[in-house]
Structures are given as structure tokens and as C-alpha cells.
């Protein structure tokens, strides 16, 4: 097997990895697992060894599988990506969000009155958020992981099962290999097999909605403005990308969404234009749109014996505020801070006391954010006139309260609460 390097992976242990006891075995090399592995490799005491296992091939070329999402990353996530060395490569293609406009009206309304805007509050400081294309984040993160000597990559392969004892965890891979480590991290996404194997139950439900994502080019510049139209079927977001381009996150009722995806491109662009409006001139699709099923999920525990859950394996939220990955990055920053402090004391990073500290730090915060997203989706995704009157009154009141708006901008940037040091741009 060729962990990490350019040689093709064959699924067997080589002489450098046989008998190694890793500090951490990270199952899942998505955005969250990849960032966690890099953060440990760069920030933990010298000599740390990490195994990163991912079910997917770790493509670094632009020809890899396409992910059409534009990801809104908070200033706090940007600070973490900076600390692990990813931001310099991402920044030329990251578009700062300069202002936000929120509207709430039915699709056929002739006017879309603007109820809430964030403009002056955002211009006062550094941008609270940036838009980065998911394909770009995959490419930059995978290249950095492949170049990192402290990380052995096992991909494509997957952790199928694991067992623990007082000293270590053994992860059994689909290829037949077994890896040993002090700690196993489940970063294996919403349908986490490791969460299931650990017997951790979760609370959750599917939304009767899909999230359609697409990248569009338009005639006029967006000036960094993000727009959120609350429509009865779900929120429709226009998020600024570099150049005269925007990323669309279009929440639609499941059946209608499937019809749109199965129909012609012309019909799709026609419906898209009805929602997008004509403010930025004519629009064209850059690539075929993609659709994602949407669900709420919250693990009842974020830890088990020598196991920590991070990212969507621990919590999945509605994408209406673009927070899912940002919440996952808070897990990364909190877990890395906990691990590094434990290592410096010479203690066991997989011990129950270490993991409890991580869980106390992250579980309530994640549950709170997930519940707020769920509540907003329920409040706005309907066509009830009395509810519209109440929420529009609320939006109007917030719009007239500059202090509250500044607080909301800081909250959205991930700068409030018990923030891990890496998210504040501080060293460990």
C-alpha cells in the first residue's frame, strides 16, 4: 500500500505503517476530516502520526468528481483554514460577502420588499463570510494532505468496524487492513457507519425539501451582495462568487425539485430566472445543477470509548444559513485544542476525560445552532399570511436595531460564545 504518496493504493500495510500506533485515526477525508488531520499534523507536538481513511479516491486534479456547491465560510472558519495553511491557496478564489439582503414574498409577487439588510454593519470591519467553491476546497485540502508527512492516507478504503481496549482502538478497513491508534475520529458524514457501530443513537428527520445548487454567470457585477429570498417552498439564496458569477442554493419541495432536475435545461433556467430576477442581467448556467436531500440530525452523544464524532457525523443542519460546515469546523478547532493540551500534559488523548471535555464544549452549541436553522425553515417555508405578517414585523424591527444587527453579524461570523482559539486566529 502507498499511504500518502502518488503510488496507487492497494489496501495492504507497507513496512512504514505496519505496527504503527497512530495518535489519531480519522475516518472520513471530507472537508471536516481533512482539515482535522491537517490541523493535528501541523499543530500537535512533533512526532504526531495520523491515519486518514476515506471511501473516495482523493482526486487533486480539476477532473475529479464535481461538487457544484458554493460554500459560505465564516471569518472564524477562515481563521482555522489560515492556521492549517490552506487559506493562502484558497483566497484568490474566495469572494468576500459585503452585504446581505433578506426578502420574504410569494413567487408571483410583483414586488419583493426588502425587510432586512446588513450593509453598514458589515462594511465596518473585515468580511464576516467568504464564498468558496466546494471543488476548490476539495482540491486545495487534498493537495495539502498529500504533501503532509505526518499523515498516512488510506484511500479509497473505509473503516468498517472498530474495537477498543484500555490503551488503544483498532480500526478494521474494508481492504482487510487493521490500523491501531489512541483515538478514532468519525468524520464519515451524515450516514456515519462509525456512529452506528458505536451504538450512538441520533434524533433526526428528513425535510420534505431538496437543496438544488448551481453556479450561474450574469451580465452585471454583484458587488459582494448575498441575497436570501424566503419563498413558500423554501429559501432561495444568491451568493456572490468571484467574477460576475453567483452560487445558487435553491430549497424546493422534493417532488417539484425532482421534476426540475429531470426537465430540460431551458425549463430549469426559466424557473431559475423567475426566482433570480433581472437585477444582474441575463444568467447562464456554468455547469449542470445538482440536488441534495435535506435532513436534520443530531447525535445523542458526540463521544464513545476512544471515539469522537465531528462534522456531519455529529450533526447535520438545514443549509438555509450556510452553517453546516462552519459548525463542523468549530468541532475541529475544539477537538484539536483539547488534544494538543492533553498531549502537552503527557496524558491519553483517547481517555474518557479528554473526550468529555470535547463533548461539553461542542454538543450544546451544535444543538442550539441546528435548532435555530430548523426553526427558521419552519417559520419561513410556508404560505401562511398571518405567519408572514408576524415574521415580516420581526424582520422590520431587527432592521431598525443597529446594535442587534451588529451582534447578528458577529454571531454569523462565528465570533460569539466560547470560541476555540484557532477560530479567533490565536495559536495553540
Ligand X SMILES: Cc1cc2nc3c(=O)[nH]c(=O)nc-3n(C[C@H](O)[C@H](O)[C@H](O)COP(=O)(O)OP(=O)(O)OC[C@H]3O[C@@H](n4cnc5c(N)ncnc54)[C@H](O)[C@@H]3O)c2cc1C
Site for ligand X, rule CB under 6 A: 27-33, 53-56, 69, 71-72, 158-159, 187-189, 193, 211, 213, 249, 292, 311-312, 319, 322-326, 328
* CB of residue 31 to ligand X, shortest distance in Å: 5
Return the number of the residue (33 or 257) whose C-beta is nearest ligand X: 33
Secondary structure (3-state) at 179: strand
* Cα 205 from Cα 189, distance rounded (Å): 16
Cell of 24: 489519531
Residue 399 CA to residue 102 CA, distance in Å, equals 10
Closest of 68, 73, 70, 213 to residue 130, by C-alpha: 73
Q: Residue 76 or residue 343: which is nearer to ligand X going by CB?
A: 76
CB of 277 to ligand X, least distance (A): 21
Q: How far is the CB of 400 from ligand X (least distance, A)?
A: 28
Residue closer to ligand X (CB basis): 71 or 409: 71
Residue 322 Cβ vs ligand X, minimum distance, rounded to whole Å: 3
Cell of 165: 481496549
Residue with smaller CB distance to ligand X, 139 or 388 = 139
- Distance, CA of 287 to CA of 66 (rounded, Å): 9
Nearest Cα residue to 34 out of 181, 148, 168: 148
User: Grid coordinates standing for 255?
Assistant: 417532488
CB of 105 to ligand X, least distance (A): 22
Element at 58 (helix H, strand E): none
Residue placing its CB nearer to ligand X in the complex, 325 or 349: 325
Q: Minimum distance from CB of 247 to ligand X (Å)?
A: 8
Q: Which is nearer to ligand X, 83 or 187 (CB)?
A: 187
CB of 222 to ligand X, least distance (A): 16
CA count, 13 A, side-chain hemisphere, 257 = 23
Residues in the chain: 428
Cis ω before 156 (30° cut-off from 0): yes
Nearer to ligand X by Cβ, of 189 and 350: the residue is 189
94, 132 in Cβ contact below 8 A? yes
Q: Which residues contact 127 (CB under 8 A, 6 or more apart)?
A: 75, 96, 97, 98, 224
The three-class DSSP label of residue 407 is helix
Q: Show the DSSP H helices in 127-253 as ranges.
A: 134-147, 193-197
Question: Which is nearest to 42 in space by CA: 414, 340, 424?
Answer: 340
**162: CB partners within 8 A, 6+ apart:** 169, 170, 171, 172, 184, 194, 197, 307
Closest to ligand X by CB, 29 vs 240, is 29
Q: Of the two residues 83 and 137, which places its CB atom closer to ligand X in the complex?
A: 137
Q: Rounded CA gap, 124 and 127, in Å?
A: 9
Residue 170 CB, shortest distance to ligand X, in Å, is 15
Q: Nearer Cβ to ligand X, position 53 or 150?
A: 53
* 86: its cell numbers: 490552506
| CB 166 to ligand X: min, Å | 25
Starting at the edge strand that comes first in sequence, how are the strands of the sheet with 95-96 ordered? 70-74, 129-133, 95-96
CA gap 96, 335 in Å, rounded: 28
CB of 232 to ligand X, least distance (A): 19
- Report the nearest approach of ligand X to the CB of residue 138 (Å): 9
**Please, which residue, 160 or 392, has the CB nearer to ligand X?**
160
Q: How far is CA 419 from CA 324, 366, 426, in A?
A: 16, 12, 11
Amino acid at each position: 500500500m502507498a499511504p500518502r504518496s502518488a503510488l496507487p493504493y492497494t489496501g495492504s500495510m507497507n513496512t512504514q505503517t505496519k505496527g504503527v500506533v497512530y495518535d489519531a485515526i480519522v475516518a472520513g477525508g471530507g472537508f471536516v476530516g481533512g482539515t482535522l488531520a491537517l490541523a493535528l499534523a501541523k499543530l500537535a507536538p512533533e512526532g504526531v502520526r495520523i491515519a486518514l481513511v476515506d471511501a473516495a479516491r482523493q482526486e487533486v486534479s480539476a477532473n475529479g468528481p464535481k461538487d457544484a456547491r458554493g460554500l459560505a465560510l465564516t471569518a472564524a472558519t477562515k481563521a482555522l483554514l489560515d492556521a492549517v495553511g490552506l487559506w493562502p491557496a484558497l483566497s484568490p478564489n474566495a469572494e468576500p460577502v459585503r452585504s446581505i439582503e433578506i426578502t420574504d414574498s410569494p413567487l408571483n409577487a410583483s414586488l419583493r420588499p426588502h425587510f432586512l439588510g446588513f450593509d453598514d454593519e458589515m462594511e465596518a470591519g473585515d468580511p464576516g463570510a467568504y464564498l468558496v467553491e466546494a471543488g476548490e476546497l476539495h482540491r486545495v485540502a487534498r493537495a495539502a494532505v498529500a504533501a503532509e508527512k505526518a499523515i498516512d492516507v488510506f484511500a479509497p478504503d473505509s473503516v468498517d468496524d472498530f474495537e477498543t481496549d484500555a490503551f488503544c482502538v483498532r480500526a478494521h478497513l474494508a481492504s482487510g487492513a487493521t490500523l491501531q491508534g489512541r483515538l478514532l475520529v468519525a468524520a464519515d458524514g451524515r450516514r456515519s457507519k462509525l456512529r452506528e457501530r458505536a451504538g450512538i443513537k441520533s434524533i433526526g428527520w428528513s425535510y420534505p425539501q431538496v437543496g438544488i445548487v448551481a453556479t450561474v454567470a450574469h451580465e452585471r457585477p454583484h458587488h459582494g451582495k448575498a441575497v436570501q429570498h424566503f419563498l413558500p417552498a423554501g429559501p432561495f439564496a444568491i451568493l456572490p462568487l468571484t467574477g460576475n458569477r453567483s452560487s445558487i442554493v435553491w430549497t424546493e419541495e422534493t417532488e417539484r425539485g425532482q421534476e426540475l432536475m429531470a426537465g430540460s435545461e431551458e425549463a430549469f433556467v426559466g424557473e431559475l430566472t423567475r426566482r433570480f430576477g433581472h437585477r444582474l442581467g441575463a444568467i447562464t448556467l456554468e455547469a449542470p445543477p445538482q440536488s441534495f436531500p435535506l435532513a436534520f440530525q443530531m447525535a445523542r452523544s458526540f463521544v464513545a470509548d476512544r471515539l469522537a464524532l465531528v462534522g456531519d457525523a455529529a450533526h447535520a443542519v438545514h443549509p438555509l444559513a450556510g452553517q453546516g460546515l462552519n459548525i463542523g469546523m468549530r468541532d475541529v478547532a475544539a477537538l484539536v485544542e483539547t488534544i494538543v493540551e492533553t498531549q502537552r500534559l503527557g496524558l491519553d488523548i483517547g481517555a474518557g476525560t479528554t473526550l468529555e471535555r470535547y463533548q461539553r464544549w461542542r454538543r450544546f452549541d451544535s444543538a442550539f445552532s441546528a435548532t435555530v436553522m430548523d426553526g427558521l425553515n419552519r417559520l419561513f417555508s410556508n404560505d401562511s399570511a398571518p405567519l408572514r405578517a408576524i415574521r415580516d414585523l420581526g424582520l422590520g424591527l431587527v432592521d431598525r436595531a443597529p446594535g442587534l444587527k451588529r451582534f447578528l453579524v458577529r454571531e454569523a461570523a462565528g465570533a460569539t460564545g466560547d470560541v476555540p482559539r484557532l477560530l479567533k486566529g490565536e495559536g495553540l
